[in-house]
Amino acid sequence: MKNKHQSKRRLLLIFCLLSALCGCKKFLEEKPDSKLATITSAQDIQALLDNYLKINENDQSVTQVCADDSYLTDAVFNARKETERNLYIWAPSNTFDPTFNSWTDTYSIVYIANLALDHAETLKKNGSEAASLNSIRGEALFHRGREFLNAANAWALDYDAAKASGTLGIPTPQSPDFNIPTVRPNLEQTFLRIVEDLKSSIPLLPAKTQTPYKPSKCAAYGMLARALLYKDDFAGALKYADSCLQLSSALMDYNLLNPASDFPIPRLNSEVIFESKLIPSGQILQSRAYINPELYALYADNDLRKTVLYKRGTLDWVFKGSYDGANGFFSGLATDEILLIRAECLARAGNIGAALSDLNLLRKSRLKASAYTALQANSILEALLLVKKERRMELPFRGLRWMDIKRWNAEGDGITLTRKLNQATYTLEPNSLRYAIAIPEDIIQLSGIAQNPR
């Protein structure tokens, strides 16, 4: 009798244990943190791409610091930390702090784009919603191409089609797997990737989006135009600038802005096609950076930009005309830039009349209505000079000047940058190797890629 009881009890016990174990699996599938998620749906990926603080407000500003839109006084220069001072005087090395610098910022956006593409691929294989995946892939490709272009602007030299396959480009990782070693392709391959990414994004993006924070076809056309301009592919740039302007061509009339206000240009205005901002480096802030007198002298007295973009600081003029509407620096796409791209390409193609008509269209909204007169030019060279001058006056503090100096010096413009500080003079000669800024030294250590030659 007792044995029977014993074995019955034992069986009961085993049964209880087993049933407990079976309930285990479900019990253990509960999420440990409600805010955490693994990437399982298109919504998850979209949430990563919609994180505007990371994706839209982190463009590298090192090219703006190095460009000649502004200068610092001795006192302000001395107050900056060592790496910032080195960057400002175009030192050949030690221009970045380790670990947390513009390289990190640029490539972490690339990572999110790669992660998004990777997961979109997985979701597609699992038979998921193709339509929402398309716009995700389009956004990811756009952001990736855009950031590669920003990186090339800072850490690579000018693009010369003859020499591009022998010039160092910038790394273009296309997978979120961090075990894949980083390599530096040549500049030609770099730009093939940039153009490929931006072109592929076009069919996947909607023509227009509810907010310029999200990329649209129009934005993709514009970004492609900018990239092809860097590459000196003027025919391509013209085509895409045109496509962009067909979708969005509004221009603000500066006559209607109030030059007395702290920040006359409102943010997300009618000209904005895609919104992004530079990292607000201390060396370009309104409280520190004075306007290069050469730049300020370019504006005629009846040019509204003189009072809308600038105001008097303590010792000299300072910048207040960011399309961000406040202290930030707009680096996205706006119709004024696209118009100027088109004008430049038209001029280079020999279509002087069309080029000037674009310039005049812009100037109508930038000059005092009463004082407006149309521009004239008789040769390609004249037209180009006018375009370059207009570009210089229209686009300060957008991170674009560096790229312009590089490519115009390549055709012999001879723009030399000088900075006088603490009784010393620092010069950056045209086409200097230092136009490709030094890559952070710890990246060279960790990855083994080549440093920019000096």
Partner 1 sequence: MRKIIIPILVIVCFLSSLKVSGQEKTTNNIKCVDRESGLPLAEVNIRLLTSPVQTLVSDKSGHFSFTLAERTIRMFASKVGYQSLDTLIELNNPVGIFLKMSPANNQLDEVTINTGYQTITKERSVGSFDQISRAKLNEQVGPNLLSRIEAIGNGVSVDRTINSEGRLSIRGLSTINGPRDVLVILDNFPYEGNFENINPNDVESITILKDAAAASIWGVRAGNGVIVITSKKGRLNSPLSANLNLNTTLTGEPDLKMLKLMSASDFIDVEQRLFTAGKYDSEYNSSSRPALSPVVETLYNTALTAQQKTALLDGFRQQDIREQFSKYIYNKAIAQQYALSLNAGGSNYRWIGSAGYDRAKGNLEEKSDRLNLRFDLEYSPLKNLTINTSLGYTSSNQKSGKPGFFDLIGPGGRAYPYLQLADESGNALPLARDYRLSYLSTLDKRLLDWKYYPLTDWGNSQTENEAQDVTINTGLQYKWKGFAVDLKGQFERQNTSTQTLQSLGSYGTRNLINTYTQITPSALVYKVPKGAIDDKSNAVLSSYGLRGQLSYNRIFGQSEVSFLGGAEVREARRESYGFRMYGYNPETLNSSNVDYANSYPSLISSTQGFIPNGVTGSGTNNRYVSLLGNGNYTYRQKYSVYGSIRRDASNLFGVKTNDRWKPLWSAGASWLLSEEAFFKNQDYINFLKLRGSYGFSGNISPSQTAVTTIRYSVISPYTLSETAVIDRYLNPELKWETVRMINFGLDFSAGRQRLSGSIELFFKRGTDLFGPYPVDYTTGVGAIITKNVASMKGTGMDIRLNSVNLKGRLEWTTALNLSTYRDKITDYYTQKTRGSDYVGATPGMVSAIVGMPVYSIFSYKWNGLDNQGDPVGILEGQPSKNYILITGTGSKQEDLVYHGSAVPTLYGNLGNTFSYKDISLTVQLVYKFGYYFRRNSINYSSLNSGAGGHSDYALRWQIPGDEATTNVPAYVYPSVNARDNFYLGSEVLVSRGDHIRLQYITLSYPLIKQGHSKRIKSLEIYGNAANLGILWRDNKEKIDPDYANTNSILPSKTLSLGGRLSF
Which run of H or of E encompasses 14? helix 2-27
Annotate 255-322 with three-state secondary structure: HHCCCCCCCCCCCCCCCEEECCEECCCHHHCCCCCEECHHHHHHCCCCECHHHHCEEECCCCEEECCC
- Specify burial of residue 86 (Cβ count, 10 A radius: 0-12, 13-18, 19+): middle
Stretch binding partner 1 (CB under 8 A), from 61-69, 251-259, 326-334, 409-417:
326-334
Specify the pairing of strand 70-71 against strand 424-428: unpaired
Q: In the complex with partner 1, which residue's Cβ is closer, 89 or 361?
A: 89
Q: How far is the CB of 262 from partner 1 (least distance, A)?
A: 5
Q: How far apart are CA 313 and CA 327, in angstroms?
A: 14
Stretch binding partner 1 (CB under 8 A), from 24-32, 130-138, 339-347, 348-356:
24-32
Q: With binding defined as CB under 8 A, does residue 424 bind partner 1?
A: no
The footprint of partner 1 on residues 241-280 (CB under 8 A) is: 262-263, 267
Using the structure block, give the residue that is written with the tokens 């300060």.
Answer: 396
Q: What is the DSSP letter of 387?
A: H
Q: With binding defined as CB under 8 A, does residue 38 bind partner 1?
A: yes
Q: How far apart are CA 32 and CA 427, in angstroms?
A: 58
Nearest-5° Cα angle at 320, 212 to 291? 125
Strand partners, 333: 274
Stretch binding partner 1 (CB under 8 A), from 57-65, 344-352, 387-395, 438-446:
438-446
User: What contacts 298, CB < 8 A, 6 or more positions away?
Assistant: 389, 392, 393
The footprint of partner 1 on residues 40-69 (CB under 8 A) is: 43-44, 46-48, 50-54
Residues binding partner 1: number (CB under 8 A): 85
The two structure tokens encoding residue 253: 């009339």
Q: In the complex with partner 1, which residue's Cβ is closer, 85 or 398?
A: 85
Q: How far apart are CA 290 and CA 231, in angstroms?
A: 31
Q: With binding defined as CB under 8 A, does residue 14 bind partner 1?
A: no
Residue 363, CA distances (Å) to 46, 92, 360, 398, 430 in order? 40, 40, 5, 19, 30
Q: With binding defined as CB under 8 A, does residue 313 bind partner 1?
A: yes
Q: In the complex with partner 1, which residue's Cβ is closer, 273 or 405?
A: 273
The footprint of partner 1 on residues 158-177 (CB under 8 A) is: 171, 173, 176-177
- Which of 11, 17, 22, 450 is close enough to bind partner 1 by CB under 8 A? 17
Q: How far is the CB of 70 from partner 1 (least distance, A)?
A: 13
- Which of 16, 130, 250, 433 is close enough to bind partner 1 by CB under 8 A? 16
Q: How far apart are CA 340 and CA 362, in angstroms?
A: 8
Q: In the complex with partner 1, which residue's Cβ is closer, 103 or 234?
A: 103
244 and 208 Cβ atoms separated by less than 8 Å = no
Q: Nearest to residue 329, comparing CAs of 58, 13, 88?
A: 58
Stretch binding partner 1 (CB under 8 A), from 249-257, 393-401, 424-432, 446-454:
446-454
- Which of 3, 126, 258, 314 is close enough to bind partner 1 by CB under 8 A? 314
Q: DSSP string spanning 211-228?
A: STTS--HHHHHHHHHHHH
Stretch binding partner 1 (CB under 8 A), from 161-169, 186-194, 320-328, 336-344:
320-328
Sketch the per residue contact string, 208 through 237, with partner 1: x for CB under 8 A, - otherwise. Answer: --xx-xx-----------------------
If phi > 0 it is left, if psi is from -120 to 50 it is alpha, else beta; for residue 71 that is beta
- Which of 349, 357, 441, 451 is close enough to bind partner 1 by CB under 8 A? 441
327 and 285 Cβ atoms separated by less than 8 Å = yes
Strand partners, 289: none
Q: In the complex with partner 1, which residue's Cβ is closer, 82 or 294?
A: 82
Q: With binding defined as CB under 8 A, does residue 332 bind partner 1?
A: no
Q: How far is the CB of 112 from partner 1 (least distance, A)?
A: 7
Q: In the complex with partner 1, which residue's Cβ is closer, 177 or 301?
A: 177
Q: With binding defined as CB under 8 A, does residue 238 bind partner 1?
A: no
- Which of 30, 258, 260, 301 is close enough to bind partner 1 by CB under 8 A? 30
The two structure tokens encoding residue 450: 């080549």
Phi and psi (nearest 5°) for 79? -80, -10
Q: How far is the CB of 273 from partner 1 (least distance, A)?
A: 15
Q: In the complex with partner 1, which residue's Cβ is closer, 80 or 363?
A: 80
The footprint of partner 1 on residues 66-125 (CB under 8 A) is: 73-82, 85, 94, 98-100, 103-104, 107-112, 114-115
- Which of 153, 286, 292, 409 is close enough to bind partner 1 by CB under 8 A? 286
